[in-house]
Amino acid sequence: NEGNEYFKEKDYKRAVISYTEGLKKGSGDPELNAVLYTNRGAAQFYLGNYRSALNDAIQAKKLKPTHLKAIIRGALCHMELKNFSEAIQWCEEGLQIDSKEKKLVEMRAKADKLKGKDPEGTLLELRTDFSIHKQCRAVMCIDLLGERNIKLVLEPSNEEEEISDGLAEISLDGFHSDNATGAKVHLDADGNLHWPVLFLYPEHEQTDFIAAFHENCRFIDHLMVMFAELPPWDLERKYLPSNLELYFEDEERAEMYKLNQEHTLLQVLQHERYFVKAGTPTVLAFVKHSPFSKKYFSGKKVHRL
């Protein structure tokens, strides 16, 4: 009930924490637990934590396979993550329960259309969409970055896309994630920027993606939500907010910078050696004093912010 109140107030971070506390009580009622997972997934979704939201939808569906809300949420997450084939599967599963569910019917058609588009056709459509107004918005956004002393590395695929706000593939040590594709930095009504931010966990080759990270929000605020419950790949149960260290890499100098979790995103982006590539700030997370981190940082120069 507490989580529901926070959700109504659009305080999604506290809603996530409340639903998590409910799950920790260990109720033996699968119906109640399915609701808790579904509701927490909805709150995670509105925070832009699509991977966490999807994990909750999966758990809810395991507890109650006919839980339509969980299936719709899972399909929505796959759409946001550009997993169109998986979105179609979830939609079809839901339509077997209710063949007239409007959201699933529309999402199924959209996913099928996006899955079948050829890259050239998509590119042509994007070029058509870049009207003068959109170009002006992009220029204004670049001006705002300049005012904030944020250094943006533009990597257009060709000359015609120089003012595009599309995102390139992001890679690190042989693994990559295209989850950020489609998310863009945007300006809210109060003049604040919201960024798509990618968290990389090199030890496990995993990622987390936050679609809209408020520039004045601290990293610890997101870590508390992201790791309110340990991820399924953390078998050693060591990825706790208090046990994590965050870094960014200066690729030009091959040096690492350790962040303070209390820092806001804006404070980090304003660092003289931080360069935003592909429109998506990226940070790396390691467990303190772990054998992997010691090996990873061996021979590398590390600075503290």
Count of CB atoms situated within 10 Å of the CB of 21 = 13
Architecture of the domain whose range is 186-304: Roll (3.10)
Q: What does the pLDDT profile of the chain (305 residues) look like in tens digits? A: 999 999 988 888 899 999 999 998 888 899 999 999 999 999 988 888 888 899 999 999 999 999 999 999 999 999 888 888 999 999 999 999 998 888 899 898 888 888 765 444 443 443 444 444 444 455 555 567 778 888 877 554 443 333 333 333 322 232 333 333 456 788 877 888 888 898 999 998 888 888 889 999 999 988 988 888 888 888 899 999 999 999 999 888 889 999 999 999 999 999 999 998 878 899 999 999 999 999 999 888 999 88
What is the domain partition of the chain in residue ranges? 1-117, 186-304
**The CATH number of the domain covering residues in 1-117:** 1.25.40.10
- pLDDT computed for residue 117 by the predictor: 53
- pLDDT computed for residue 88 by the predictor: 93
* Cα-Cα-Cα-Cα dihedral sign, residues 214, 220, 221, 223: positive
- pLDDT computed for residue 167 by the predictor: 30
- pLDDT computed for residue 83 by the predictor: 87
- pLDDT computed for residue 68 by the predictor: 92
- pLDDT computed for residue 141 by the predictor: 56
